[in-house]
A and B are shown apart, each in its own frame.
Chain A
Amino acid sequence: MENAVEAVGLCKRFRVHRERRTLLKERFVRGRSTTVPQYFWALKDATFSVPRGSSLGLIGHNGSGKSTALKVLTGIYRPSSGSVSVNGSVSALLEVGAGFHPELTGRENIRLNATILGFTNRQINGLMDEIIEFADIGDFIDSPVKHYSSGMYVRLGFAVAVMVRPDVLIVDEVIAVGDEEFQRKCFDYLHGLRKAGASLIIVSHGLGSITELCDEAIWLEHGEMRDYGPANQVTQAYLDEVNAREAARAADVFPQIPESDASQHRRGSGEIRFIAFEPSSAQHDSMRMLISGESASLSIRYECHSEVTDAAFGLTITNSSQVPVLALNSLVHGPLDIAVGGGTVAFETDALLLTGGTYSVSVSVTSEGRTIDAATDVAELVIRAGGIEQGGVYLQNGQWIQSNS
């Protein structure tokens, strides 16, 4: 199949200006900048192609080089090395208000943009009504675009970008600004364009729209192509990593219980010492985040230095208003005998009934009334609301019933 876009070893390098001397006066007074120029690779060795009628999505974190890649593809930036060839006309919608002059009216901006895209006056006259109809912004079409709301900007921008029927359409995360109805309209139109043989290149943080619209996807990380392949596979790989990273970050939120000498946080004789508090959930095992109403496991890791009999573990969860909302004690299942070595004790539930919020966790272990280890407010526990956010401290089971009397 013929390729609409072909990029080979595309690189874009920016100079990092620590102090840029933009005034001749400064250069004169302070001399040329003596610091060695530092470079930053916004895009490194990107090689990909988009066959005609196919679509490509770019995903990645903020600053991963997605927008730079689009600007190189549209010609706004010149690649530092590598080559890109585009077969056919390109229309791009980068950021809100792509290429609008604020002082000109909507109609004049349509004319201006279409001229930039290489249309003749006659062609523009033919397109004008169609574009205005698609944008659907009413009488605002004849007022300067500086008076537009961001939604109107996007409507008009999108209308111009798609109605000129480009061979390659480049869209940078803009559709999200419009309302639900307009977004739907845009998606339908993009599908239609693809069917008609146009190629799409889309940047989006909405992975859903990438899998819906794109055949292939590129996952960019620090300007490099981390993954390139079928859209659903790439987005899945990306999602997995994002979740894993979030889990790792969550693990940092629940750190090792500190061996503190500040006595009010840590008391006890010390045969057993707590090491860490580790909440987890069966449904989201990659995420160390708990969800209201779902299963949860609150696990305490410890190290036992000498054998303890008749031990009872306690777990207190305090909400942000300092109210202890849960005070659990393992004694409900009888006393425990703890052997020397490491181990965990966990409280598990099918449904954690605390409402969403940030809680503070205190743990303790006692034996026949004697405190062995007690750590107050040693960890933070984040619980996310499962469905509709509700107030109060816990979720009451039950249902609402309405009847007419």
Chain B
Amino acid sequence: MVLVTATRRQTSRAQLRLTWSFALRDLKARFTATSLGLVWTLIVPLATVLIYSMVFAVIFRAQAPPAGNGKTVFAAWFFCGLVTWNIFSQIANAGMSSLLNMGAMLQKVYIPSWIPAISSGLSIGIERLLEAGVMLAFMLALLNVGWTWVLYPLVLVVVAVFAMSLGYILSVSIVYLRDTGQIFAIFTQLWFFLTPIMYPLDLIPTEWHGVPLRDLFLLNPMTSFVGMSRSLVYELSLPSLGAVLYSLGWTAATVLAARLVYKRWGRDVSEAI
């Protein structure tokens, strides 16, 4: 009964252009907002690496697996995992609030509801690349370099797509359920600790009171993403095919879910904002 012939003159190219210009605007705003601008995006993760390395390597005596060049540097190993996690969590978080931030504008001009989540994801992703660059420079300083680095950007792109799709779903959800934000904040915290980022997966017992605990940890898609990044950048080896397929599967499923959300709710958000 609902028959809508497209009224949009916005071609998909124009929409992509719009997405890109939103992302650029975002980046500009972020770098001019604080006096140190760009520097902050690097200081915060570096401080995190420093603090966590101190706490875990020195106090808890956590052991990182050896790097590709045979040495073991906890900070490098942790940094590599943290970059992947940060790309994911910051893109998803920014995507979540992006639609609400558009606010009144959505009621005055037609903007497809997926554009804010994607454009904010792009701008965050670009900003996080700097962090990844610093991390790679750190590896370089440790003389831990390999050809597997070439594949690393692919992992980051897939993580970003996964995070943007999730961010879009959350951005629509938050329009209808305003406490999505608080719930997701708690959930990401839990998720961070359930992902082997500051402890190696080996630390998780394979079986715990009859529960196959390590297998459960492996169900977490972020375990795969972090694991793949570390294989390529830190251990300088190829990730297992299983992890690759598993993370791709999750990404594809999330993209599909985002599409469904768009079809079902995403085209009516301007009424609910």
A positions within 8 Å CB-CB of B: 14, 22-25, 27, 71, 73-86, 88-90, 92, 94-95, 97-101, 103-104, 108, 111-113, 115-116, 118, 120
A14-B271, A77-B270 known; A88+B9 contact, CB < 8 A:
yes
Minimum distance in angstroms from B220 CB to a CB of chain A: 23
Shortest beta-carbon distance from B80 to chain A in Å = 35
Q: Judging by beta carbons under 8 Å apart, are B17 and A120 in contact?
A: yes
**Beyond known contacts A86-B9, A104-B25: 13 more, CB 8 A cutoff:** A22-B176, A23-B177, A23-B179, A76-B109, A77-B270, A81-B1, A83-B3, A85-B7, A86-B7, A99-B108, A101-B105, A108-B25, A115-B18
Q: How far is the CB of A127 from chain B (nearest CB, A)?
A: 15
CB pair A73 B7 closer than 8 Å: yes
Say which residue of A94, A104, A108 sits within 8 Å of B108 (CB atoms): A94
Cα distance, A116 to B7, chains bound together (Å)? 15
CA distance A173 to B17 in the complex (A): 30
A contact residues around B267 at 8 Å (CB): 78
**Complex CA–CA separation, A100 to B107 (angstroms):** 11
Residue of B whose beta carbon sits closest to that of A95: B108
A24 is contacted by which of B3, B10, B180, B270 (Cβ under 8 Å)? B180
On chain B, the residues within 8 Å of A77 by CB distance are 268, 270-271
The answer on a CB contact under 8 Å between B9 and A118 is yes
Q: In the docked arrangement, what's the CA distance between A80 and B3, Å?
A: 9
Contact A89 B109 (CB under 8 A): no
- B112 shortest CB reach to chain A, Å: 9
In the complex, whether B110 has a CB less than 8 A from a CB of chain A is yes
Most buried by B among A24, A82, A97, A116: A116
Within 8 A of A (CB), among B228-273: 267-268, 270-271
Q: For A27, list chain B residues within 8 Å (CB).
A: 177
C-alpha spacing A262/B203, complex, angstroms: 94
Kindly list chain A residues whose C-beta atoms are within 8 Å of the C-beta of B25: 104, 108, 112
Q: Which residues of A contact B9 (CB under 8 A)?
A: 86, 88-90, 118
Query: Binary interface profile of B, 184-220, with partner A (CB < 8 Å = 1, else 0)?
Result: 0000000000000000000000000000000000000
Asked whether, in the complex, the Cβ of B109 is within 8 Å of the Cβ of A92, the reply is yes
Chain A residues near B5 (CB, 8 Å)? 83-85
How many residues of chain B get a CB closer than 8 Å to chain A's CBs? 34
Question: C-beta contact mask, B82-120 vs A, less than 8 Å → 1, else 0?
Answer: 000000000000000000000001111111000000000
B residues with CB within 8 A of A: 1-11, 14, 17-18, 21, 25, 29, 105-111, 176-180, 183, 267-268, 270-271
Give 28 pairs: A residue, B residue, CB < 8 Å, sorted on A.
Answer: A22-B176, A22-B177, A22-B178, A23-B179, A74-B109, A74-B110, A75-B7, A75-B110, A76-B107, A82-B3, A84-B4, A84-B7, A85-B5, A85-B6, A88-B9, A90-B9, A92-B108, A94-B108, A98-B108, A99-B108, A111-B21, A113-B109, A116-B109, A116-B111, A118-B10, A118-B14, A118-B17, A120-B17
- Taking CB atoms, residues of chain B closer than 8 Å to A80 are 2
Q: Quick check: A78 and B105 within 8 Å, CB to CB?
A: no
Min CB–CB distance B263 → chain A (angstroms) = 11
Q: Are B3 and A76 in contact (CB under 8 A)?
A: no
A76 x B1 contact (CB < 8 A): no
CB distance B11 to A81 under 8 Å? no
Q: How far is the CA of A214 from the CA of B8 in the complex (A)?
A: 24
Shortest distance in angstroms between B202's beta carbon and chain A's nearest beta carbon? Answer: 37
